[in-house]
Amino acid sequence: MVVGEISQERNLLIIGGGPGGYSAAIRGAQLGLSITLIEQADIGGVCLNEGCIPSKIVTHAAAKRTEITHLQELGIGIPENQFDFKKLLSYKDRVINQLRSGVESLCKENKIEMIRGKVTFLATDKIGVENGHQFDIYEFQQVIIATGSTAVMPPFLIEKGERILLPHELFAIEEVPDHLIVRGSDYIALEAASSFAALGAKVSVVIENKADFPFDESVNKELSRLFKKRKIKVHKELQFISTNETKDGITMTFLTDKNVEETICGSHLFVSGTRIPNLEPLGISRFGIDLTDEGFIKVDGNMQTSLPAIYAIGDVTEGPMLAIKAIKQGKAAVASIAGQQTEVDLTFMPVVAHTIPPAVSVGLTEQSAREYGLVVRASQFALGSNGYATLSGKKDGFIKVISDATTEIIQGIHMIGEGAIELSGSFVQLLEMAAREEDLKFPLYAHPGISEGFLEAVEGMVGQAIHAAPVKEKRQSIIFK
């Protein structure tokens, strides 16, 4: 190993080139900071290379594949069963390469110094970077730890063979599995189940104990209905007994909610749900950085850790392990370092699953609003009653709006249906701005359009949706409760 003779000086180091790290780097450069970004693998991190992007390419293709019947009724002739998964894989590689080289170019254009290698902390102001036979030492004024997290196996699965897949493995799989068993109920599990079913796999979902889908109850119910319609079998309230992987498949044995022992045999098992922060290899804990009980780095509102020169963002900190959190925190960290006031508020973080159709929850669910003791107004409008959804073959699902009847301030917006991802940004904006019912009712919405369904969801709060059956007195009294 060649060790750099003297330690080099840098201003702001960012360790980890995932979405949080590279967004922080670029924003930092925009704010006039001198930035060094260190990444041991590919720029873009898990999100771009193994997670969000590849999974969304698969969910997107799957959604498109379910449109075939609709395309046929439009006169666009498609032989039902032609699907070439290999082509999708090469599309995926192409898009990932393109996005990655886009980020690399942006880093260059923003004059961000890029260093490849594996980081170890040598002091609270000094790190070593190992790259093959090279070992360089850098002193820094500030550092941002943005090393992300790694998916790990749940405790009940000790041995992991080739047929047990973690998220990054599932979305890199080379063939559509014959029978995919999906373990979990989070958005990744739902996306996996929904999209691989659409791509031709038989899919079974197994969910432990009291866990359920992560949305408003009505959305969960509609998702269950659609899963059933697509022949995705969901087994809930299970207790796992054993899992056995052989050369030919996977066998899972569990206890159902009726205390009956059941067995599922599949070709593959997808395991979603557990990730641990990538901290161990950094060796930062021995310098006395404050950690939470779960082993995440503690940060304040500026993303500063208990060691003043050290900041942390993304999956190494507490909270949801999502790119959007990392990006927001990354921007906040550099803003704070650049002397600006900053604030990160995760209250209205959208919960999103690219199922078919996609589902989104922002703000309070109806259940949680009631639990908070609000006088709840809840109204949902079926997309099947919306002209544009109908003509464009997107009739499944609905938009649901929750408000506080006392103030008429919107408390939650939930949607399952085509367009939910596009609309989710608007849901967050409205909640952040404390929009009132009138703010949603007053505007003019393009006709025909999905937004009219949004309007009708709000109009429905007082029994005034145009394209919904008249509200009976009894039901009305429930709504206004």
Active site residues: 447
* Cα–Cα dist 428/437, whole Å: 15
Nearer to a second copy, 88 or 252 (CB): 88
Smallest distance from a second copy to CB 107, Å: 11
Smallest distance from a second copy to CB 396, Å: 16
Q: Residue 11 burial (CB < 10 Å; 0-12/13-18/19+)?
A: middle
Nearer to a second copy, 128 or 358 (CB): 358
39 φ/ψ angles, rounded to the nearest 5 degrees: -135, 135
- Quickly count: other Cβ atoms within 10 Å of residue 274's Cβ: 14
Helix (H) or strand (E) holding 245: strand 233-245
Smallest distance from a second copy to CB 18, Å: 11
SS3 state of residue 13: strand
Nearer to a second copy, 61 or 271 (CB): 61
Nearer to a second copy, 128 or 357 (CB): 357
Query: Can you give the C-alpha Rg of the chain in angstroms?
Result: 24
- Quickly count: other Cβ atoms within 10 Å of residue 346's Cβ: 12
* Alpha helices by DSSP H, 154-303: 167-170, 187-198, 217-229
Place of tokens 């709840």: 376
Nearer to a second copy, 280 or 432 (CB): 432
Smallest distance from a second copy to CB 338, Å: 11
147 CB-near residues (< 8 Å, 6+ apart): 15, 16, 119, 277, 278, 279, 282, 316
Smallest distance from a second copy to CB 323, Å: 4
Helix (H) or strand (E) holding 92: helix 85-109
Nearer to a second copy, 129 or 389 (CB): 389
Q: In what order do the strands lie in the sheet with 261-266?
A: 164-165, 268-271, 179-183, 202-208, 233-245, 250-255, 261-266
Which residue type, as a one-letter code, is found at position 252? M
SS3 state of residue 295: coil
First-last CA distance in the chain = 72
Nearer to a second copy, 286 or 447 (CB): 447
Smallest distance from a second copy to CB 174, Å: 13
The two beta strands, 359-363 and 164-165, are unpaired
For residue 193, give both structure tokens: 């189940």
Smallest distance from a second copy to CB 71, Å: 6
Smallest distance from a second copy to CB 308, Å: 26
* Cα–Cα dist 37/149, whole Å: 18
SS3 state of residue 270: strand
* Alpha helices by DSSP H, 241-321: none
Nearer to a second copy, 86 or 258 (CB): 86
